[in-house]
Amino acid sequence: MKVQIGKLVLGKYTPRLAGRDYKREHVAEISKSLKDHGQWHEVLVNQRLEVIDGETRVEAAKRLGWREVEAKVLKVTNEAAHIIALSSNIMQKNLDFMEEAEKVKFLHDEGLSVRKIAKQIGKDKSWVDRRLRAAKELHPEIKALLSHRETKTQITPKHAEHLAKLPKRDQLIIAKEVEEKKLTAEETEVRVEDALTAREVIPTSHEESEAPMPIVAKPETSGAISVTEVGLRIRENLLDLTTLHLFKDLSYRARGTCPECLKRIILENPHLTVQAWKKEIVEAMRKDLEELSG
């Protein structure tokens, strides 16, 4: 059916982030196509004439002076309209990484599970998980680097996926290393893992809630775990008591090897939640590591 362009409502369902000049990128070529070949695909709208898919075609038609476009009215829920808009833009490769991420977060905040989002847009769960983490955890400055294509940066979406595992203030430190040293995504992953291991022996209560850290169950193995390595910062702090302070929760990571299957295992916060001063902390570490080695 023909719909007057002036009655169409733009912007509600587009996954594109504000500030990205997508019109400059696409409208000119779409305008040429419409002029040469006419409108091949209908614009999808809901019953309130809010455009679900086809905003660029509408903008291009405006540029040509058209007053009407072909549109198809869909009787869909608000949730379904957002899914259609995201799926269409992903298929057409219209979105950058952060636009995908923010739209996934929007749908998740609306109550959709990661599994349902993945199923609805035809992606696997890990694809959705990575973008959801980026939208929730990435520092705003790193998001901005990924969103503005004119900004030259060494940071790619793959780098960002690793950086998102860190607290926001630490992300900027390693992001600077990525820029200055031109670290690959693989090198960044290693650097992030080292940082996670190192920071697990420093106070975290100023960043997180006052509640004690939960004790994470020891992974099930067929035998005792022989601890062969602990974080460098643990070893350093065992030798230097002046670097230990009063704080409410101590968190660290120990790496071990199962003596039977020889599998490398990382133990998160093994048996340790401490409220103590210097000597007591070190003693708690020593006893805990002895228990793991036993």
pLDDT tens-digit series, residues 100-148:
999 999 999 999 999 999 999 999 999 999 999 999 999 999 998 888 6
User: Is-contact 212 249, C-beta < 8 A?
Assistant: yes
Per-position b or e across 176-187, b if 16+ CB within 10 A of its CB: eebeeeebeeee
Q: Which DSSP state fits 164?
A: T
**Average pLDDT value over all residues in the chain:** 76
pLDDT tier at 196 (50, 70, 90 boundaries)?
Answer: confident
| Rounded distance between C-alpha atoms, residue 174 and residue 176, angstroms | 5
- CATH class of the structural domain 2-95: alpha beta
Q: How is the chain split into domains, by residue range?
A: 2-95, 138-199, 226-293
> Which position has the token pair 């636009």?
99
Tokens of 206: 């100023």
200 has pLDDT over 70: no
**pTM of the predicted model as reported, rounded to 2 decimal places:** 0.61
Span 186-191, mean pLDDT? Answer: 93
| Rounded distance between C-alpha atoms, residue 286 and residue 265, angstroms | 19
| Rounded distance between C-alpha atoms, residue 55 and residue 233, angstroms | 53
User: Is-contact 146 157, C-beta < 8 A?
Assistant: yes
pLDDT at 16 (0 to 100): 74
pLDDT tier at 214 (50, 70, 90 boundaries)?
Answer: very low
Q: How far is CA 199 from CA 10, 51, 125, 180, 194, in A?
A: 46, 48, 29, 22, 9
- Segment 68-79, tens digit of pLDDT: 999 999 999 999
270 has pLDDT over 70: no
| Rounded distance between C-alpha atoms, residue 175 and residue 189, angstroms | 12
Listed in sequence order, the residues at least 6 apart from 138 whose beta carbon sits closer than 8 Å to its beta carbon are 160, 163, 164, 168, 171
DSSP for 53-70 reads: E-HHHHHHHHHTT-SEEE
Tokens of 93: 């490769």
| Rounded distance between C-alpha atoms, residue 7 and residue 74, angstroms | 16
